[in-house]
Structure 1
Amino acid sequence: MLLLPDKFDENEWFIVISLIVAYVLLVKLPKRFPLTITLLILFFGMAYVQVSDHILAGSGFNLYDINDYGKYEWFDWIGWFIYPPFGYFFIYFFDKWSIRGLRLFWYILGWSFIAMLVEWISLKFNMFKYYRWNFAYSYPIYLLTLCIYLLFFLYVNRTFQKLKSLKKPVH
């Protein structure tokens, strides 16, 4: 059973405000991808963060807790919805700006720093409680995560384009 917050304080407010800001920005961006690709990017982001948090914060390692309890609560679940827009924005601007070559290296480094900034802000609002985790450990995780996001997008986009070309009638 999901627990309610100990009290509705800064970490719950951080989640609510972050969700509103992230999804307003996501909806306001001009449409860039077909709906299926957009949904796949968002669902991938949700699944990826759930698996990562389960491995790192779960009972096996218990490197950190999310929100008020060491057990799963409503705002842990709600907070997972913050992550998909971040991955979407990363992919959106990668595609929009046609990032290639050495620029890709700097792009991933830059977005990893942005992820660190977001994590640092979330720490100030007590969204995470570290036990055997250190803030510096997050940077290589973000580097890896953004590379995986990018590979996922490239695969999905290439597959979508191939399937789309198969549907075109030949005259």
Structure 2
Amino acid sequence: MKWLEPLLPIAFDKNEIFTIVIVFITVIILKLLPRAMKTSIFIFMYVFNVALTVFGDYLLAGNPYNLYDTLDKNSGELFDFILHLIVYPSSILILISVYICYSKKPLSFIFILCSAAVLILLELISLSFDLFTYINWNIKYSFGVYIIIMAINTVVFRYLTGKYSKAVS
């Protein structure tokens, strides 16, 4: 098990406990939400957001920028993978599910802003559990990043939904 040591947290503390709690919360919310998305679109959006998360963390938290660290280390650990594979994409899919309920084009901009605000709130909560350590980062930057992420997700979701509708008609 020596090979696993570099992936383990330095200490099992409040950020790992918080990660486990938010995994359960996001999975439960996803299960409770009505399935408004076609399965193929859901899977694509899930994988797409895993890729966005990994790419974003690699770009922003890695060298040469090193803008922030997650959890206990400045490199990946087991709970980073859990966040990348479950929490981050699930949070976006929960927001998209809300968007589906109110998917009028004029509301897209409002949805993107509200989603970015929700993600900022979640980040502030995460900060209180030491999920992130800002090095050269500020929460104001996160708002811009979240607007971009939610805009991309909205465009991709609308595109896929349009393609799916044309394919079945």
Please report the RMSD computed on the Cα atoms of aligned residues, expressed in angstroms.
Answer: 1.3
Q: Which has the larger radius of gyration?
A: 1
The one of 60, 70, 73 aligned to 2:74: 70
Matched, 1:91 2:96: yes
CA shift for structure 1 position 163? 2.2
> Which of 118, 132, 139 matches 1:128?
132
**Residue matched to 1:168:** none
Read off the aligned partner of 2:27 and give its amino acid letter: Y
Q: 2 CA distance for matches of 1:119 and 1:107?
A: 18
2:139 pairs with 1:111: no
What SS is found at the alignment partner of 1:40?
helix
Answer whether contact 2:108 2:154 (CA < 8 A) is retained: no
- Superposition pairs of residues 44-63 of structure 1, within 5 angstroms: 44-63=48-67
Give me the whole-angstrom Cα distance separating, in 1, the residues matched to 2:61 and 2:37: 33
SS at structure 1 position matched to 2:105: coil
Deviation at 1:93, TM superposition (A): 1.5
Does residue 155 (structure 1) correspond to residue 167 (structure 2)? The answer is no
Relative to the length of structure 1, the TM-score reads 0.91
1:142 aligned onto 2:161: no
Map Cα deviations across residues 84-125 of structure 1 (whole Å, 9 max, x no partner): 111112211111122321x32222111111110000011100
Unpaired segments ≥5 residues, structure 1: 166-171
Q: How many residues align?
A: 164
Counterpart of 1:17 in structure 2 is 21
- Secondary structure in 1 matching 2:133: strand
In 1, Cα distance between the equivalents of 2:13 and 2:159?
Answer: 41
For 2:61 and 2:104, the matched residues in 1 are separated by 33
1:31 alignment partner, SS class: coil
**Alpha carbons 2:14, 2:129 under 8 Å: kept:** yes
1:32-43 pair list within 5 angstroms:
32-43=36-47
Q: Within 2, Cα distance between the matches of 1:38 and 1:107? A: 19
